[in-house]
Structure 1
């Protein structure tokens, strides 16, 4: 929970540009409450689909921030998968062993044999210099500007037919699971829409929204193509696993 929400509100109203540490989905929901009284909240986590993000709260008439304004340092390394496969939990455990707080770093992005870390600039030097071994491998991280295009998770584009734009229907169809299973995921707080947790299974989704499902991936509703004779909606969606 964001204990400093009131402080952020007052500081931003006074004309300051407030930069938070990395926020999880619940905290993102809270910080968005400050989109009022002439204030605007901006979110960024180092790449477009980031789940954990930093927030900037400022007066709405100020110029919108650039990615550099969020002060996120991106580090990259490669590892030898023939030796041992490294997963998200392995990297997280090694970082947390340094005794730092979870809000000082964002997503841990792993694709094939490449790992990206998204760190607050304030902690990045200490973290990289003191990074312990990960799964018995000593990895050398180097600072980069962004995730390489060919190392991004690939989007699979496909057409789906759903009876409505309900969240549970779209998740079920995209992930090839039952509506009951999709409802369980949503009601457990494991689904979010544009960074905001949604526990409403009947929520009506809209075009261009990003639906994130914890441990499953992300869905983007790209286009409403047509309606069939049986009144089923045909959507073009992008699915990231």
Structure 2
């Protein structure tokens, strides 16, 4: 663990202690996959309170941690706002990508930790942000590349998102992590091994470095730089004992 990761771990432990000591809910900023893994691997005896994570919608990759006092007797809400960004005039709009929207927001001087996931479709970008930065972004984000845009907050409670998945099926000897990855990412076994052992693969937000890790139906697999998968289970077994599996590849 490098110095920056040690500082994050210390900060998370402090938030947990503050929650316990003051009997309040405390929140982290948005955490990426590696940072979430640091949280998940903190020894339980170093955390004074339990925690939950959420990113504004169910399959979010970047998430906040909420540290909860033992005697929590009231409902709490994550300090997350949802902003919808649309071109001011579709006729003159460029085809903007995730990278374009992210770059435009960061250009305002926003820290990446204040931003959750960005969901881009043909007509708009929805971005999850800390409540403290929402108004600033809405007031100051007027252009992405050469496209004039409008940004405004929407009701996060009514926001719904259904990810688009490409269904991929294939046969594997077993539901090991490396085998299932080979169904979605056709590449050499050595390259897949390199990704896993090199700390690029996360299952349900936890770093997995073992090729033989056995997946369970419903597991979400994130491969940094390559995309995200939903392991959807075994469909059948062949006469030779191989398993016919299905995964959904996020597109």
TM-score (norm 1): 0.86
CA separation of 1:182/1:129 partners in 2, compared to 1, >3 Å: closer, same or farther?
A: same
CA contact (8 A) 1:31 1:41 kept: no
**Equivalent in the alignment of 1:202:** 212
Can you give the 5+ residue segments of structure 1 that lack an aligned partner in the other structure?
Answer: none
CA contact (8 A) 2:82 2:128 kept: yes
Q: How many residues align?
A: 238
SS at match of 1:143: strand
CA contact (8 A) 2:174 2:243 kept: yes
SS at match of 1:159: strand
**Equivalent in the alignment of 1:172:** 182
**Equivalent in the alignment of 1:24:** 32
**What is the deviation of 1:154?**
1.3
The one of 9, 23, 26 equivalent to 2:16 is: 9
What CA RMSD, in Å, does the superposition of the two structures yield over aligned residues? 2.6
The one of 135, 142, 145 equivalent to 1:135 is: 145
Structure 1: how far apart are the matches of 2:92 and 2:193? 39
Can you give the 5+ residue segments of structure 2 that lack an aligned partner in the other structure?
Answer: none
**What is the deviation of 1:186?**
2.4
What are the superposed Cα offsets for residues 109-151 of structure 1, whole Å, 9 maximum, x if unpaired?
A: 21233211111011111121111411111111222235865x7
Structure 2: how far apart are the matches of 1:230 and 1:115? 47
**Equivalent in the alignment of 1:39:** 49
Structure 2: how far apart are the matches of 1:219 and 1:61? 37
**Equivalent in the alignment of 1:87:** 97
TM-score (norm 2): 0.83
CA separation of 1:103/1:227 partners in 2, compared to 1, >3 Å: closer, same or farther?
A: same
**Equivalent in the alignment of 1:76:** 84
Structure 2: how far apart are the matches of 1:29 and 1:116? 25
